[in-house]
Amino acid sequence: MGELTVADTTNPKDLLGVKKTPLRLVPPALSIWTAGVMATGKSKYGELYDVWGYDGMNWRMKAVRLSVYLEAIERHLNATKDGQWFDEEDGMPHVAHISACVCIILDAWACEQLIVDLPPRGTAAEQMKLVEKILAEHADILTAHETKQRERKKNEPKPDIEHEEHDGVEQNA
């Protein structure tokens, strides 16, 4: 007793349970950090919560524009790609802000509170395929260019960069 064993595949609860959404596949870090960002957002926009008389998930009360959250995602993504792991405003990871935005988009959509204010469908998907095709056709040229760049960088003097640590994650100061 008390030992973990392999699930009994004849147990009726197991047979039904394995057909449900596998929530175990979402790592706790996602929930934890997203909750942290949601809490800072609640604090930041608290007066709006008070006006609406609701203590959370304000997008369920008032519809939200998809473009606003996509732009926020892009800002946090660009900051992350530019080497800034933590948001200077609240100290939370930019990627956690991205997940919070995605949460709001999905929940607003599921609750029919998402205003899809995007322009008419464009050709981005087709353009990406075309660029991928062109890049594949010229892979040898690109590889040679990248090799030259790496060699040039290897020979350049290294800048003296101070590092700052934030809860075990090193980032450039």
Q: Does residue 171 belong to any structural domain of this protein?
A: no
Do 109 and 141 sit in the same domain of this protein? no
* Residue 130 structural domain: 120-154
Do 148 and 102 sit in the same domain of this protein? no
**Which residues, other chains included, contact 172 with Cβ-Cβ below 8 Å and sequence gap of 6+?**
83, 161, 162, 163, 164
Do 71 and 129 sit in the same domain of this protein? no
List the structure tokens of 46: 């608290």
Q: pLDDT tens digits, residue range 150-169?
A: 888 888 776 665 545 555 55
pLDDT band of 97, cuts 50, 70, 90: very high
Measure CA of the first residue to CA of the last residue in the chain; give whole Å: 53
Q: Does residue 19 belong to any structural domain of this protein?
A: no
Cα 64 from Cα 57, distance rounded (Å): 11
CA-angle at 101, arms to 40 and 36, nearest 5°: 30
Q: pLDDT tens digits, residue range 29-62?
A: 999 999 999 988 887 776 655 555 566 788 888 8
Do 114 and 149 sit in the same domain of this protein? no
Do 40 and 124 sit in the same domain of this protein? no
